[in-house]
Each structure stands twice: as structure tokens, then as C-alpha cells.
Structure 1
Amino acid sequence: MPWRKPWFDPAHSPHDALERRAYEVWISEIMLQQTRVSVVIDYWNRWMAQWPTIHDLAAADVDDVVLAWRGLGYYSRARRIHEAAGVVVGDADLGGLLPADPRELEARVPGVGRYTAGAISSIVFGRAVPMVDGNVLRVLSRQLGIYGNVKSDKAVIDVMWAAADALVKAAAADGHAGEDEDPETGRVSGVPGRWGQALMELGSTLCTPKPDCEACPISATCRAFNEGLDIARGPPKAGDNSRRKEGVDIEDLCGMCDTFEDVVTKEEEEEEEDSPRKRSLLDGKLTSTELSTAIAHARKFPRKVIKKPVREEETVVCAIRRADGRYLLHRRPEKGLLAGLWELPSQTLPSTGAGKAAARKAAAVKYLDGLRRSGHAGMADAVLRHAEDLGAIPWLFSHIKLTMHVHVFDATFADEEVGSCDPDGRWRWEESEVIDEESMGTGMRKCWALAKEAAGGTYE
């Protein structure tokens, strides 16, 4: 990972070097949200080649920034990064250097939340503050044996962050007992950053949703794993003092953890038994039944939350082409889904009748009639003819299952030079080669590829 570099003490580093390091880590952390490391590496390298400093990014055109983000998804992140660069560079106090304090990072830098602030503060500035992502939440849920909703239960989340905070402070202080330190910032070193990244990597490689407990170096301290061993072994025999004595059920005392619906399901046992055996840190210490039961129990943590059904929507996407081969483009609003990206004119269909081809065609015609009356990009003078129904492109967002029905329309004008662009720049006619390089959502880009192919072109 090219953004992983040796830590250097901010107090004894050139300003430019520290500014560059903070910028590199910030961009990597934003890119890594919801995206695999293997994908991010090339994007990060290209980004740094194009905008090597935060000053370069602040001076860039936002459309170029969004275009560079193409393929990573969640395009609002690119716009917030660009906005944040402008804020940090334009601030007289910061002058291009991201704040070191996580609370200040959250408060002053657009798009930086609690996790990103902790990552920058610990990795770059060496402060003993936690960075807690989904992987760390899973590790801590199992280590602490907290069976709760780590995504939305505030009490559970607060405990996880408090535990992460205590752990990183203990790791940073290890071997330095009695030494003086700054009461505000504590002792700075490379330990907090390495510790936080190690926890994240443990969660992404071993303590995954299907954990490899056999290879885990901290299974001995994992409450969830050891609870599974207790379940496998059953109640202790009389005189056996090697295991916890039965007492008050912890679930009767703790109001945080939810109640298990069952202990271990047959499917979970069979899945563990079918898994290929790897070299284990626990070989010779546990029976196969003990191990499979303990792993199956650990898999239950954190509590799985039933996802809300994804909303289904259908839209008509209208590829409107002129005789000179140009197509009409529309820029989406600056807020909301796919904010600020370009698209072929589109309209969401009502739920009733959306499943019928004739109804979709009629909806497209009606939408374009309204567009023609609006006069955007000279459309008031257009004569429109429905040319072809190209079929549907399915696309899945995190909360919407979208089906895009692509229709081609031919537009003729008495004056072909009319209306190249609206004054506000949100509607314009463009050649195919220009559209190929435009910033579009991935689903819309597939619609454009379909329209271009139907016209006899190819999309690279």
C-alpha cells in the first residue's frame, strides 16, 4: 500500500513534508471507505500524480476531481474532498496543513467524520486516539463478548469507542511508565497509527464475518471464542475448578447485549466442518467439535441486523440525438444521489404501469414533451421522434434497486446550431467523444454505451 510510510515526529519535520503526509493519508482513508484496497491502490497513485499536494487539489476544477473518482462510487466524497481542500488551504491558521486534533478535524474539515479524524490524527501526528471502522467494531465485539448492534445502538457503539480509546492509550504508553508527557496531546509516536491499522487488518484478514479463529493470535483473549468453547464442553464437572463456576447469567445483569435466538445452528456446524483445515495455533489443544462450535459461536458477533428491503425504482433514460450526432446531456442537482454528475435526460416512472413497455414509452414521450416546452438547450424548436427502445439496464445502489429503460429519440431543428448550451450550464448538446470522458454514474455510463452502440459507435 503506497500510502503506508514510516512515521516521523511532526515536531521535528519540515512543514511541507508533514502537510504532504497528512494529505496522502487523508485521501487514502476517504478512498478506502466502501472500497477494496486492491482497487484503491491505482486510484491513489493516479490521484497523487495529478494533484501531489493539497494546494494542487484546491486549485483543480471540481469536474476534473469527480472524473478522477470515476469507478470508486459515492461521488459526493470527491466533491467534499475538493471542498475540504479549499477550506484547509484558504484558512489562514491551517494554511494547507490538516489539524492534528481529531475534534478539530471533524469540526473544520468537510467530509471528515470520527473514524477519518482518528486515522489522520494517529497515523500522521502520532496521537493516541482510536480509529474505529467496521472491521474494528467486529474485532472488539468478539473480544468483549458484546452481542449487540454495532451500527446503530448508541450504547454499544460508545462502549466500542471507549474500549478502542483505552487500548490505543495503553499500547502507546507501554514501556514509558513514569515519563512526562503533554497533558493535551499525550506522548506522540508511531505506535498509535500502527496499532489502529493492525486492528483493522486483523478484522479484514482473520476476524472477518467468517473468522479464522485457528490462525488468530488473540483468540485466547476473545470472549466470544471462549464462550463457544464453554458451550462445546458443557457444564463443568464436579471438582473442576479450571473453568468459570456457574453463577448469575450475565444476560440477567447486562442490558446492553441482545438475547441469542439459539446457540449454534446445524448449518453453521456443517459449514465449519466443510471448511478446509489450515495450520492452526490451536492444534493439539482442542477437539474438532470444540473448535467448530467455538468458531460458530464467534461468528454470531456482532449481532446481525436485518437489512431493510432495497427500494425498487424504474426510470426512462432518453438518448436524444441530433442530426449532427450530438446528444443532449443534463447535469444532476448539486445535492442528493449522484450529485452534480452528468446524465442522459431521465425520469422516474410511477409504480403503476411501469412494467409495461407501452406505458414506459408513453412516459418517455410525455417527459420529453414537458422538456421541449421548458425550452432547455433550444428544445422548444425541436421535433422529436421515438426511434428505438434499447431495453433495460439494471443497477444496484446501497438503498435502491434501479432499472433504467433506455429509449432513443431523434431531434430535428430548423436551425441545427440552436441551443448548444443553457446559460446555467445544466443542459448542453455534446459529441460522443466528449460524452465518453464526462463524469457520469456507472449505471448511466452503461446506458450511454448502449445508446452509442445502437448508433453504430463503440464505447471504450
Structure 2
Amino acid sequence: MPWRKAWVDPSSYPSDGNLSEEEEEQLRSVLRKRAYEVWISEIMLQQTRVAVVIGYWERWMERWPTVDALAAAAEDDVRSAWQGLGYYSRATRIHEAAKLVCNDPVLRGLLPATAEELEKKVPGVGRYTAGAISAIVFGRAAAMVDGNVLRVLSRQLGILGDVKTDKKVIDTLWAAADALVKAVAWGNDERREEGEPPLSDRPGRWGQALMELGSTVCTPKPNCSACPVTDTCRAYAEGHALATEAGLVGSSKKQLPAAPDIEELCGLCEYFEDVVELDDEEDGTVTLADNPPAKPKPVKDTKQSKLSSFFFTPTTRSSKGGDEEVTPATKPSLEAMEVIASHARKFPVRKPKKKVREEETVVCAIRRESLLEPLEYEYIIHRRPEKGLLAGMWELPSHVLPESNDSTPKSRKSAAISYASGLVRGNDLKYVGKLGSVPWLFSHLKLTMHVYLFEIVGYQQGNWDGKDARWADTEKINLENMGTGMKKCWELVRRSRDSDYNSES
């Protein structure tokens, strides 16, 4: 990953114990660069695979190598560079934040060092991104908790809860992550009870290691046999106990014992009986039943509310009556590991996904002969509103069909003609044909775009030349910042001159 680089140690810059003005500016310049690089990578990595992000990040850094260069960029250029990454509002917030940070007389282009200040002062930077920048760049003991880390910690602590919507569960796991990163930052330092831990590369390395563990080993379908931290994992211990009960693990004086069922001890966890495994080959989702039977929660033990009560170290009773730390006598068999991994999959739980809303639109490509280039065409494009889905992006005129969910080819054609005619009143509009349909899936919406081609004959000047709507030729539209789905619609239009049209009616 090109954004992963050696930590910038501030202690390597002082001269005679103090920073000179030149050294201070040099350090500030290096930190500005590193904070910018990490910030952009973390925003890009939200909801996007690493393999995809690498190319985007490298092209972005080549175009805008510093936060100052980004702040000076044109808004449309920034949106265009983000095309394909989705959630386009992120690009807008990044651009706004870059201008804010560069214009701030105190920050002067350098992102704040603490997670609290990052969240407070930088638009678009949330709890996770703030922790990542603070730990990786500035060496502070800040927790970095993404979805992968939430899954790892829910298994380590044995919390059978909803890590997406249950605030108590989420806060508990964040508190665990905070305690862990502080312990890692202190290491064996004898001053560990005094104030904040010293700055070092340990918090950043630790946070990235937890994320790597969750993305490669402790996945929704975990590979428990390859995990380096099974000795402290409550979910693993419980699974091991189940395998032992099933006779899949041989008896030994030193074997992992059954851990207490944490869901019976606190108010955070769901009941195993209410958990349903879904046959989801993509992510191995485990979820709660739609209507789990009503069951009273146990009275919350005040002792269990302490974070330390969740951390688990497997022990067994010795013949002398004392507790001894143990490890499995032998590596569990393949059958035993299947039982263990199956149990671990139950952590964390999620509520059933809401059905994605479906929507249909008619996309109207309205062309005219170019006034400047004979035998070429220009097309009407317009900018979407600055708020909402695909905010500020350009598109071919589109109209959302009523949510009756019973549209037909005839009704869609009629809707397209009616919509296009209303846009170019006073002109002779010719219906050319249907070019095809483009399905596109957003996180909350399944959209089907039906693309129709129209041509204006005997064009008269209308109201389409302006800030949010204009005529554009093929070359300009190819470079325009459109959503990826709309780009696919445009590709149908671009190829239409050499294609046969569907005379759908």
C-alpha cells in the first residue's frame, strides 16, 4: 500500500535539544505531507477495496501532491477524479476541508494531531478516520476502529451484539480498543500510570495490525486455525469447549476449558438461541431472527460493567488448587476447527438487512447537430442538486418513474417522450429510439435506467445554456464528472450512431 510509510519521529529533528525555526518548518512540512497522504487514503478506503483504491490514490497524489494543491483545485476536477469510488459527497467534503485547513491561520495546512481536534475541525473526518490519522501520522495512542476491528474485538471479548446499531455494544468495543492501544503505546514503560503515553510508531502499527487481522484472518468466515491470538479469544474458547463436548478434542490435563457464557452475565449480549446463520457466500453474515422470542434479560451485574471483566485469559485448575495459564495440548483436528470457526461466526450479530429500494428512471439523450462541427452532435446535460444522491454531478436529463413497480415498455416510452418534450418546448422533437437499460446498485437503492434517444430538428435557442445545464459535445461529455452508472448510459448514447435502435413501443 503506497500510503504506508515509516513513521515521522519528531525527536529526530531537534538540534541541541531544541528545534530551530528551520527544523520546525522542515518537520511541519513532512508532517503536512504524511497527514495529507494518510487522510486521503483513509477516506478512499471507506466502502472500497484496497486493490481499487491504490490506483486512485496514486493518480490523486500525482495530480495534487500536497494539501495546498488540492485546496486550489477546481471543484469539478476533484469530483471527476473521484469518479468510480462512489459516495461522491466525500470528494466534496475533502475539497472543503483542504481549503479550510490551508486557510486556517493556526493549522496552515497541517491537520490537527489529536483525534478530538480532527473530528471537530476537519469536515468529513469521523471517529475512525480521526483515530487513524492521529495514531499513524502523529504517533498518539488513538483507537482505530473500523468494521474489521469491531468484529475482532467482539470475538475476543465474547460480546454477542450488534456492532452496527447497538450504541452500548459499539461504545464498549471502542473503550476496549482505547484501553488496548494505550497499553501498547506504553509498552513496558514504568511511567504508564502517568498522563498520556509517549509518542511512537506503536499505536499506528497496532491499529493497522488489528485491521489486517480482521480483513485477512478474522473475517466474517474466520480462519481460526491461522489466527495468532486464539489464546485470548473468548469466542475461540467457547467453540473449543463445544468441540470437546462433541468428542472432537482429546482429553488432556492442559486443554482449553469452557469459558463462561458472557451473554448470561451482562446486558450487552443477545441469546444464542435467537441467532440465525444466513447462507451468505459473500460475507458469511450472521444475524438475529426477524422476531426473536421475548426473553427477559438478566439483571446487569455492576462488576460486569467494568471493561476488564471482558478480557479473557484461559486458565485451568491445577491439582494443587491454583490456577495455571494453559494452551491446547495439541492442535485441534480439522473437524474440531470447523466447530470452533462456526461458533466464532456468530460474533458479531447483525439485524436483517433492509430490502433495497428499487427505482426506475427514463434517461433522455437529447441531441442536435453541432453549430460548430458539421456531422457532429451536441447533447443536453445538466448538474444534479448540490445535496442528495450524486450531489453536484453532471448527467443526461433523467426522470424518476412513479413507484408503482408495474411499468411497461409502452409506459416507459410514453414517459420519456412526455419528459423530453417538456424540456425543449418550442422545438420539433423527434423520437429516435430506445438504446437500452442500465441497472445500477447503490448501497440503499437498486436503480434501472432506461435510455432513450431524441433529436431536435430545426433547433431554436432554449433555456439550456447556463450554470446548471448546457449543450456539450462528445469530447466534453467524455471528460465530465458523471456517476459511473450515468457514464454507462452515456456509453450507450456515444455508440448509438453506429447502432440499431430498439423500436420499443
Q: Quick check: TM above 0.5?
A: yes
SS state at 1:19 partner: helix
Identity value in percent? 58
Q: Distance in 2 between matches of 1:219 and 1:209?
A: 16
The Cα of 1:261 is off from its aligned counterpart by: 2.8
Structure 1 residue identity aligned to 2:3: W
1:303 alignment partner in structure 2 = 349
User: 2-side partners of 1:444 and 1:140: how far apart?
Assistant: 40
Which residue in the other structure is 1:277 paired with? none
Give matches, 1:191-210, under 5 Å.
Answer: 191-210=202-221
Deviation at 1:100, TM superposition (A): 0.5
| Alpha-carbon shift at residue 456 of structure 1 (Å) | 2.9
Match of 2:475 among 433, 446, 449: 433
Q: Is the 8 A contact 2:362 2:400 kept in 1?
A: yes
What does residue range 115-154 of structure 1 map to in structure 2 within 5 Å? Answer: 115-154=128-167
- For the residue of structure 2 that corresponds to 1:104, the secondary structure is helix
Kindly indicate whether the alpha-carbon contact (under 8 Å) linking 1:314 and 1:403 is maintained by their aligned counterparts in 2: yes
Q: Are the counterparts in 2 of residues 106 and 117 from structure 1 also a CA contact under 8 Å?
A: yes
Q: Does the C-alpha gap of structure 1 residues 408 and 128 become closer, same or farther in structure 2, counting only changes over 3 Å?
A: same
Partner residue in 2 for 1:355: 407
Cross-structure match for 2:234 = 223
Distance 1:28 1:246 in 2: 40
Moved more, 385-394 or 162-171: 385-394
Instruction: Tell me the secondary structure at the aligned position of residue 138 of structure 2.
Output: coil
Q: Does 1:214 align with 2:225?
A: yes
Within 1, Cα distance between the matches of 2:239 and 2:408?
A: 53
1:256 to 268, 273, 282: 268
Q: 1:90 aligns with which of 103, 120, 127?
A: 103
In 1: Cα distance, 2:221 partner to 2:339 partner: 13
Residue 30 of structure 1: SS of its match in structure 2?
helix
Q: Which SS does the other structure have where 2:495 is aligned?
A: helix
Runs of 5+ consecutive residues of structure 2 not aligned to the other structure: 14-25, 285-326, 371-376, 500-505
The match for 2:367 among 321, 336, 348 is 321
Q: Corresponding residue for 1:61? A: 74
User: Post-superposition shift, 1:283?
Assistant: 10
Paired amino acid for 1:195: W
Structure 1 residue 188 corresponds to structure 2 residue 233: no
Letter in 1 for 2:211: M
Match of residue 340, structure 2, among 272, 294, 309: 294
Q: Distance in 1 between matches of 2:97 and 2:445?
A: 28
Task: State which drifts further: 302-311 or 118-127.
Answer: 302-311
How much does 1:70 deviate? 1.4
Q: How does 1:376-395 map to 2 (within 5 A)?
A: 380-395=425-440
Residues 23 and 53, structure 1, Cα contact 8 Å, conserved in 2: yes
Q: 1:436 to 1:223 in 2, by over 3 A?
A: same
How much has 1:265 moved relative to structure 2?
7.5
Q: Is the 8 A contact 2:237 2:256 kept in 1?
A: no
Q: CA deviation at 1:316?
A: 0.2
The CA deviation at 1:69 is 1.1
CA offsets, 1:316-346, max 9 Å, x none? 0000010220000010001100001010000
- Conserved 8 A contact 1:135-1:208: yes
Give matches, 1:434-453, under 5 Å: 434-453=476-495
Pick which of 156-165 and 232-241 moved more: 232-241
Letter aligned with residue 419 of structure 2: Y
Letter aligned with residue 143 of structure 2: P
Cα offset, 1:355, TM superposition: 2.2
Assess if the C-alpha contact under 8 Å between 1:354 and 1:360 holds in 2. no
Deviation by residue 1:14-49 (Cα, 9 ceiling, x = unmatched): 211111111011001111111111111111111111
In 2, Cα distance between equivalents of 1:283 and 1:384: 81
Change (3 A) 1:60 1:368: same
* SS of 2:498 mapped into structure 1: coil
Once residues 169 and 278 of structure 2 are traced to their aligned partners in structure 1, the CA distance between those partners, rounded to angstroms, is 29
Q: 2:355 is paired with a residue of what secondary structure?
A: coil
* C-alpha displacement of 1:175: 1.9
Deviations, residues 113-171 of structure 1 (Å, cap 9, x unaligned): 00000000000000001010001001001101111100010000000100000000000
Match of 1:371 among 411, 420, 423: 423
Question: 2-side partners of 1:332 and 1:266: how far apart?
Answer: 38
Query: In the superposition, relative to structure 1, how do residues 426 and 282 fare at CA in structure 2: closer, same or farther (>3 Å)?
Result: farther
Structure 1: distance between partners of 2:71 and 2:191: 44
- Structure 2 partner of 1:312: 358
Corresponding position of 1:375: none
Per the alignment, residue 396 of structure 1 pairs with: 441
SS of alignment partner, residue 395 of structure 1:
strand
The yes-or-no answer on 1:3 pairing with 2:3 is: yes
Q: Decide whether the 8 Å contact of 1:386 with 1:410 is kept in 2.
A: yes
2:128 is paired with a residue whose SS is helix
Secondary structure at the aligned position of 2:96 is classed as: helix
Could you tell me whether the CA contact under 8 Å between 2:383 and 2:469 is conserved in 1? yes
Question: What aligned pairs does 1:43-62 form with structure 2 within 5 A after superposition?
Answer: 43-62=56-75
CA contact (8 A) 1:322 1:411 kept: yes
Aligned partners of 1:264, 1:186: CA distance in 2, in Å? Answer: 42
What is the SS of the residue equivalent to 1:124? helix
Contact 1:10 1:18 in 2 (8 A): no
Shift of 1:262: 7.0
Deviation at 1:253, TM superposition (A): 2.6
1:186 is displaced (CA, Å) by: 3.4
Tell me the distance in 2 between the aligned counterparts of 1:445 and 1:207. 37
CA drift at 1:411? 1.2
What is the aligned partner in structure 2 of residue 160 from structure 1? 173
Distance change in 2, residues 1:455/1:170 (3 Å): same
Shift of residue 354, structure 1, vs aligned partner: 4.7
**Paired residues of 2:362 and 2:412 also in contact (CA < 8 A):** yes
Q: Distance in 2 between matches of 1:195 and 1:388?
A: 58
Amino acid paired to 1:307: K
1:241–1:191 distance in 2 versus 1, CA, 3 Å: closer
Shift of 1:351: 2.4
C-alpha RMSD over aligned residues: 2.7
**CA distance in structure 2 between the partners assigned to 1:23 and 1:146 by the alignment:** 36
Seen in structure 2, the aligned counterparts of structure 1 residues 283 and 451 have a Cα distance that, compared at 3 Å, is farther
CA contact (8 A) 1:263 1:297 kept: no
The residue aligned with 1:276 is none
8 A Cα contact 1:228 1:294, kept in partner? yes
